[in-house]
């Protein structure tokens, strides 16, 4: 019977006892046959043979041999490690840094890129959109969606959704602003998601003018409804309209597009964008996103061609004015997974590559240390070989040793990774989807184990190969003398050192490019002063604030109240805040006194339009270039006035003075507002759509003349902006206690979020590059110090023969520098190839940016020189007398 | 230092033993089972019994005997038990188990088939006249 491994010790004793008993019995019998005790003892021994071998072959019969040998190897390795604690600590720390960084980044990559989306059979899900050349829009219209739904054969199921919806939840304590999405009734079926409570939408709830139903997220259900299961069937007020709660989404449900969904409501989409009501034809363009589940066997290419055919049929059936508006759409279909994570994939893969480099450098370092030690152990290896140890057995012993070290490094790395993952959760930009799933789970642990073992084999291989080359005779013949390192080992060490420099050079370049991009981005002037500004959003429910007079007076009153709050220097309200890109567009801008435009020009004359209260300009410190700003005198009954930005002037008033000119806009949200405006001033360009984007022509109207029901408050404060939040909430609820204040942010936060991903990429890569350079410096130092110690005698001779300090210093530094230059040269070549992969992450910097290359080369050579300095200096201090007596 | 290395150092003599074990293995197993059929025995007594019963022709090497005993024990054909002896040290005594008895029957018939076959080859004339 096989006994458990842990009982081996006792089993070994018993085996010895059994053998001993055999010998005793044989001895006794020989004595009884008349031999002397001494003769009997020897006879029994002779008869028995080698006791040790007999014991060992018997142990083999137990079937634990390979484990036993491995344990022996590991025990031997641990003993060796403990004999040189400093060496072991440096090795384990180096590996821990490399493995820790890899584990942390892998856990992110695993959660974001590798793990399947949290939907049933997610590999079959696709995301479809339409691209219209020239218009640059990526949207599907209701007519096209209806075509897909009824005519396509490639989809098992199809759904449409629109994520950017917001609702005010009232009648349930404090009014709350919920982020939501409109979805077709098929939406949850397509994803394969079942509500944890209640039911999915019914087809009749998804028809135009159907019953209003709502599905709550688990979070809202718990926070706002105390996880009450009786919430099903309850009527809640969203934007003051009654919705029946029909279900609660699963706890782990994640909406698409990395967008939060507190509540889902039926889309109630009609099949056509053209609706006639009260005898009037109205065009309702509702852009939507499409998600679908492919039939078995359907391909992306096949889907694209079918959707294109449907697009064409749909377009032919439309009236001509709508045809022009929609244009001929080119279908684009992506796997849902690619659509969801595609934009963060390059950055994450670059990071994964970077930590891979760090680990390789760590491996090279450890391999170097092991090589140095292998040289010192040549005698041990030779003796073992002479005594009959097979090569394979020797290799196993050395590999077991390095694997043990690597595993220790892996365990330390896991601790480090747990900490780094916490940092990532804290500092990673919000635009990385599914990041919350990044943790040390089983697959990450398996990854770490595999990486550790691979690392152990990788750096353990160098001494193994060195051991294979050991010539028994030469090593043993050298007697007691400490043998010098073989030429092969020296070459291997230098190769590793060059590789380290080249690897860290590439990382350094990548980090340099990203840091420069980040600086380029942050150096962009946003066109306003973002420091010390608080923003908060308020949306008026339209059924209570139906008339524009009500809307106007509400915001007028609110701004007046905010203006006098202590700590507020100026207050205003605006329809859109800079950097957010939620612009309203007008087109067909006809400037008075210019010839009537033709159709093509009409579509091309576009501008964005904003509406602000007069305090906006001083609150954001938007500069006035010419003319005047909008003020209280541009009230409801005054002539309609606007200020335009410089981009507007550049585009439409190349050679003319815009002040006093009038224009009207044929299309856009203003069709129900003022028809014509007079330009009274020119303001500076503000970055409305993000720092990196071009500024579009923009006209800013007065919210007194063109009131909006949804506005963002902007307050310039003389105190910490965050300290005013409750005061703002109080002012709003004093005016209307059912109004929630939401989207509270300082402008600094908005700006910071804008550059968050660039900052994260640059910061992470700079950190890894720093680590890489540090490891490389340690590696260079190690190799040079070892080389110098090996040449102590030579140095002594040189100095005895009259070599100057400077000569010796130059010689050692020159050698180090030569290797560093070779490494940097290889690094340049590798960088040209590899940085191209990250061109998408850069902003305002070319992948071959000469400035970065020159700076990095210089910095790395300085680091290499510094790392060589101490060994070189030590070489000059060699005392010839001692050196010559050395060995 | 050297003692720790015995595993590697001794690998070649060990291999010699293993080769011999391989050659004898099938037969040795049967001999052990057969001998234990007559009653439980410790290792020394077993080797003596095999030697005596074979008229001093078969000498079982300890380096083959003990691995075989431990292997048979692992297969469950024999069981071992420590027993105190009158003569001094306690002894590990092996006895045949139920499955061991079955195994002996099948080993014996296999052996008989093989010896008959070998006999047929060695004495072809005799075999032909019999059939």
Across A834-851, average pLDDT: 87
Q: Residue A400 — very low, low, confident or very high, per pLDDT cuts 50/70/90?
A: confident
Nearest to B62 among A22, A60, A387 (CB): A22
* Residues ≥6 apart with Cβ < 8 Å to A425: A435, A436, A438
- Nearest CA to A844 out of A696, A695, A694, A692 is that of A692
pLDDT for residue B17 is more than 50: no
- The answer to whether the beta carbons of residues A327 and A137 sit under 8 Å apart is no
> Would you tell me which residues 6-35 of chain B have a C-beta closer than 8 angstroms to some C-beta of chain A?
6-14, 17-18, 21
pLDDT at A882 over 80: no
Average pLDDT over residues A796-818: 86
Collapsing DSSP to helix, strand or coil, A731 comes out as helix
Indicate yes or no: CB of B14 within 8 angstroms of CB of A53.
yes
Q: Which two tokens stand for residue A882?
A: 């001692």
Instruction: Estimate to the nearest angstrom the gap between the alpha carbon of A768 and the chain centroid.
Output: 14
Asked if the model's pLDDT at residue A594 lies above 80, the reply is yes
Q: Which of A21, A49, A52 sits opposite B61 (nearest CB)?
A: A49
CB A420, CB A438: distance < 8 Å: no
Task: Give the pLDDT of residue B130.
Answer: 44
Cα separation, A428 vs A416, in Å, equals 17
Nearest residue of B to residue A386, measured between CA atoms: B9
Among A5-9, A242-246, A418-422, B12-16, which is the least confidently predicted range?
B12-16
Closest alpha carbon to A216 in A161, A283, A264, A287? A264
More confident: A227 or A322? A227
B105 Cβ contact partners less than 8 Å away, ≥ 6 residues apart: none
Q: Is the pLDDT of residue A250 over 90?
A: yes
Considering only CB atoms, A21 lies closest to which of B5, B8, B91, namely: B91
3-state secondary structure A392-417: HHHHHHHHHHHHHHHHHHHHHHHHHH
Residue with more model confidence, A582 or A357 = A357
Closest CA to A289 of A187, A385, A369, A360: A187
Question: Whose CA is closest to A189, among A212, A161, A163, A154?
Answer: A161
Least Cα distance to A579 among A540, A525, A628 occurs for A525
Q: Could you tell me the pTM of the whole model?
A: 0.72
Is the CB of B63 less than 8 angstroms away from the CB of A19? Answer: no
Q: What is the distance between the terminal CA atoms of chain A, rounded to a whole angstrom?
A: 57
Determine whether the interchain pair B62/A54 forms a contact, defined as Cβ–Cβ distance below 8 Å: yes
Distance between CA B89 and CA A21 in Å, rounded?
Answer: 6
User: In this predicted model, which residue has the larger pLDDT, A676 or A323?
Assistant: A676
pLDDT reported for residue A83: 81
Flag whether pLDDT at A439 surpasses 60: yes
Is residue A730 within 8 Å of residue A559, measured between CB atoms?
no
**Out of A35-49, A474-488, A709-723, least confident range:** A474-488
Question: What's the mean pLDDT in A260-275?
Answer: 84
Residue A389, chain B, CB below 8 Å: the answer is yes
Of chain A, the percentage scoring pLDDT greater than 70 comes to: 90
Q: Helices A747-754 and A756-790, interaxial angle, to 10°? A: 60
Rounded Cα–Cα distance for residues A443 and A110 (Å): 8
User: What's the average model confidence in pLDDT over A596-603?
Assistant: 73
Angle separating helix axes A756-790 and A487-523, nearest 10 degrees = 160
Mean pLDDT check: name the lowest of A124-128, A497-501, A532-536, A539-543.
A539-543
Q: Is the pLDDT of residue A836 over 90?
A: no
Q: Which chain A residues are Cβ-neighbours of B42 within 8 angstroms?
A: 21-22, 25
Q: Residue B21: list chain A partners with CB under 8 A.
A: 57
How does residue B20 score in pLDDT terms, banded at 50, 70 and 90?
Answer: very low
Q: Which of A119-123, A302-306, A756-760 has the least mean pLDDT?
A: A756-760
Q: Model confidence at A466, in pLDDT bands (50, 70, 90)?
A: low
User: Distance between CA A257 and CA A212 in Å, rounded?
Assistant: 25
- CB–CB contacts below 8 A, A to B: 105
pLDDT digits (tens, 9 = 90+) for A482-494: 445 566 777 888 8
**Of A436, A458, A214, the residue nearest A356 (C-alpha):** A458
Residue A278's pLDDT is: 62
pLDDT score of A138 more than 70: no
Average pLDDT on A635-651 reads 90
Residue B61 pLDDT: 80
**Mean of the pLDDT values across residues B102-113?**
89
Which pLDDT score, from 0 to 100, does residue A879 have? 79
A800 vs A810: CA distance, rounded Å:
17
Asked if residue A1 has pLDDT above 50, the reply is no
Query: What is the rounded CA–CA span in Å between residue A689 and residue A683?
Result: 17
Q: Look at residue B21 and tell me whether its pLDDT is greater than 50.
A: no
Quote the percentage of chain A above a pLDDT of 90. 33
**Chosen from A56, A79, A385 to mutate, greatest number of chain B CBs within 10 A:** A56
- Whether residue B87 and residue A22 make contact (CB cut-off 8 A), yes or no, is no
CB neighbour burial string for A107-119, b if at least 16 within 10 angstroms, e if fewer: bbbbbbbebebeb
CB–CB of B11 and A22 under 8 A? no
A390 neighbourhood in chain B, CB within 8 Å: 8, 11
Query: A26 CB near a chain B CB, below 8 Å?
Result: yes
Task: Identify the band that residue A327 occupies on the pLDDT scale cut at 50, 70 and 90.
Answer: low
Residue B60 sits at the chain A interface (C-beta within 8 Å): no
The residue with greater pLDDT, A886 or A73, is A73
Mutate to test the interface with A, among B14, B24, B44 (most CBs of A within 10 A): B44
User: How confident is the model over A346-379, as pLDDT tens digits?
Assistant: 889 999 999 999 999 988 888 888 777 776 676 7
pLDDT of amino acid A2? 52
State how far the Cα of A28 lies from the Cα of A24, in Å rounded to an integer: 6
Region A565-575: mean pLDDT is 94
Residue A539, pLDDT score: 85
- A337 close to A182: Cβ distance less than 8 angstroms: no
- What was the pLDDT predicted at A612? 94
Average pLDDT, chain A: 85
pLDDT at A630 over 50: yes
Second CATH level (architecture) for the domain B27-122: Orthogonal Bundle (1.10)
Kindly report which listed range (A278-292, A600-614, A733-747) carries the lowest average pLDDT score.
A278-292
Does pLDDT of A479 surpass 50? no
Tell me what pLDDT residue A683 has: 95
- So what's the pLDDT on residue A96? 92
- Select from A822, A826, A824, A798 the least CA-distant residue to A810: A798
Q: What is the tens place of the pLDDT at every residue in A72-106?
A: 788 887 887 788 788 788 888 989 999 999 999 99
Residue with the bigger pLDDT between A378 and B80: it is B80
State the DSSP code for A209.
Answer: T
Is A176 in a helix, a strand, or coil? Answer: strand
What mean pLDDT do residues A624-641 have? Answer: 89
How many whole angstroms separate alpha carbon A795 and alpha carbon A803? 9
**Are B74 and A26 in contact (CB < 8 Å)?**
no
**Any idea what DSSP says for residue A317?**
T
Given a cut of 50, whether residue B9 has pLDDT beyond it is no
Per the CB < 8 A criterion, the answer to whether A497 and A821 are in contact is no
Question: Is the CB of A387 less than 8 angstroms away from the CB of B73?
Answer: no
What tokens appear for A859 in the block?
């910095």
- φ, ψ of residue A421 to 5 degrees: the values are -60, -40
CB neighbours of residue A621 within 10 Å = 16
Please judge whether A54 and B66 are an interchain contact, meaning their C-beta atoms are less than 8 angstroms apart: yes
- Residue B5: per-residue pLDDT: 29
Give the model's confidence band at A666: pLDDT under 50 very low, under 70 low, under 90 confident, else very high. Answer: low
């Amino acid at each position: 019977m096989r006994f458990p491994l842990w009982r081996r010790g006792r089993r070994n004793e018993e085996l010895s006892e059994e053998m001993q008993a055999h010998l005793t019995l044989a001895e006794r019998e020989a004595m009884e046959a008349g031999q002397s005790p001494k003769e009997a003892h020897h006879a029994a021994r002779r008869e028995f043979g080698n006791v040790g071998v007999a014991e060992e072959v018997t142990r083999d019969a137990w079937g634990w041999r390979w484990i036993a040998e491995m344990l022996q190897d590991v025990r031997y390795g641990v003993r060796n490690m403990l004999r040189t604690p400093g060496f072991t600590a440096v090795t384990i720390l180096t590996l821990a840094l490399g493995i820790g960084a890899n584990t942390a980044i892998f856990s992110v990559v695993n959660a974001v890129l590798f793990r399947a989306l949290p939907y049933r059979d997610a590999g079959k899900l696709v995301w479809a959109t339409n691209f219209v050349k020239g218009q640059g829009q990526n949207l599907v219209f209701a007519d096209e969606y209806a075509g897909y739904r009824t005519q396509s054969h490639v989809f098992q199921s199809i759904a449409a959704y629109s994520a950017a919806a917001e609702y005010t939840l009232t009648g349930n304590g404090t009014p709350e602003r919920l982020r939501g999405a409109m979805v077709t009734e098929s939406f949850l079926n397509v994803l394969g998601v079942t509500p944890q409570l209640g039911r999915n939408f019914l087809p009749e709830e998804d028809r135009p003018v159907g019953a209003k139903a709502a599905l709550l997220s688990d979070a809202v259900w718990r926070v706002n409804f105390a996880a009450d299961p009786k919430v099903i069937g309850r009527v809640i007020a969203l934007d003051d309209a009654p919705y029946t709660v029909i279900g609660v989404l699963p706890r782990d449900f994640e909406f698409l597009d990395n967008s939060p969904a507190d509540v889902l409501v039926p889309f109630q989409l009609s099949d056509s964008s053209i609706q006639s009501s009260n005898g009037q034809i109205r065009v309702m363009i509702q852009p939507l996103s499409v998600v679908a589940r492919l039939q078995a066997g359907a391909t992306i290419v096949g889907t694209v061609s079918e959707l294109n055919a449907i697009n064409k049929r749909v377009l032919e059936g439309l009236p001509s004015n709508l045809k022009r508006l929609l244009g001929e759409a080119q279908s684009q279909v992506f796997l849902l997974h690619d659509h969801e994570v595609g934009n963060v994939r390059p950055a994450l893969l670059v990071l994964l590559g970077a930590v891979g480099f760090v680990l390789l450098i760590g491996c090279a370092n450890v391999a170097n240390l092991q090589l140095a030690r292998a040289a010192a152990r040549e005698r041990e290896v030779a003796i073992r070989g002479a005594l009959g140890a097979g090569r394979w057995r020797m290799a196993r012993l050395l590999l077991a040793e390095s694997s043990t070290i690597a595993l220790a490094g892996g365990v330390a790395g896991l601790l480090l990774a747990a900490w780094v993952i916490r940092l990532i959760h804290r500092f990673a930009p919000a635009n990385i989807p599914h990041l919350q799933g990044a943790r040390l789970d089983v697959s990450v642990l398996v990854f770490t184990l595999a990486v550790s073992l691979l690392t152990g084999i990788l750096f353990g291989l160098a001494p193994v190969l060195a051991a294979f080359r050991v010539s028994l005779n030469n090593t043993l013949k050298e007697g007691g003398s400490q043998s010098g390192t073989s030429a092969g080992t020296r070459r291997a060490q230098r190769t590793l050192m060059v590789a380290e420099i080249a690897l860290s050079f590439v990382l350094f370049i990548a980090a340099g490019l990203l840091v420069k991009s980040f600086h380029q981005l942050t150096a962009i002037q946003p066109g306003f002063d973002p420091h010390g500004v608080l923003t908060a959003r308020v949306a008026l429910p339209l059924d209570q604030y139906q008339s524009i007079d009500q809307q106007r007076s509400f915001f007028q009153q609110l701004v007046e109240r905010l203006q006098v709050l202590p700590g507020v220097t100026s207050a205003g309200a605006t329809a859109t805040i800079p950097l957010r890109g939620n612009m309203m567009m007008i087109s067909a801008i006809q400037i008075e006194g210019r010839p009537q435009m033709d159709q093509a020009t009409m579509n091309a004359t576009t501008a964005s339009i904003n509406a602000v209260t007069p305090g906006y300009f001083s609150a954001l410190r938007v500069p006035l270039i010419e003319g005047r700003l909008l003020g209280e005198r541009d009230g409801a009954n005054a002539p309609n006035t606007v200020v335009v930005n410089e981009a507007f002037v550049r585009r439409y008033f190349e050679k003319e003075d815009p002040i006093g000119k009038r224009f009207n806009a044929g299309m856009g949200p203003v069709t129900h507002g003022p028809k014509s405006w007079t330009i009274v001033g020119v303001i500076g360009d503000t970055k409305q759509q993000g720092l990196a984007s071009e500024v579009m022509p923009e006209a800013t109207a007065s919210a007194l003349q063109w009131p909006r029901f949804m506005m963002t408050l902007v307050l310039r404060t003389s105190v910490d902006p965050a300290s005013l939040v409750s005061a703002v909430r109080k002012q709003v609820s004093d005016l209307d206690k059912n109004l929630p204040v939401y989207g509270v942010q300082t402008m600094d936060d908005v700006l910071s979020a804008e550059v968050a991903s660039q900052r994260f990429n640059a910061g992470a890569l700079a950190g890894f590059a720093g680590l890489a350079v540090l490891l490389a410096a340690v590696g260079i130092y190690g190799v040079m110090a070892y080389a110098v110690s090996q040449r102590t005698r030579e140095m002594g001779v040189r100095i005895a023969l009259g070599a100057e300090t400077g000569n010796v210093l130059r010689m050692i530094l020159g050698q180090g520098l030569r290797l560093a230059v070779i490494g940097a040269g290889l690094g340049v070549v590798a960088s040209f190839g590899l940085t191209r992969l990250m061109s998408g992450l850069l902003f305002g910097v070319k992948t071959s940016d000469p400035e970065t290359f020159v700076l990095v080369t210089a910095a790395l050579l300085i680091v290499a020189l510094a790392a060589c300095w101490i060994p070189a200096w030590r070489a000059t201090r060699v005392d010839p007398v001692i050196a010559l007596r050395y060995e | 230092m050297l003692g720790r290395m015995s595993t590697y150092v001794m690998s070649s003599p060990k291999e010699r033993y293993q080769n011999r074990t391989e050659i004898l293995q099938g037969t040795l197993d049967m001999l052990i089972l057969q001998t234990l059929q007559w009653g439980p025995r410790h290792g020394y007594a077993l080797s003596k019994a095999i030697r005596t019963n074979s008229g001093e022709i078969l000498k079982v090497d300890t380096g083959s005997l003990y691995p075989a005993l431990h292997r048979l024990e692992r297969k469950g054909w024999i069981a071992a038990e420590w027993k105190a002896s009158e003569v001094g040290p306690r002894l590990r005594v092996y006895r045949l188990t139920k499955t061991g008895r079955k195994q002996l029957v099948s080993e014996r018939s296999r052996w008989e088939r093989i010896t008959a076959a070998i006999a047929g080859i060695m004495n072809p004339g005799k075999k032909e006249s019999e059939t």
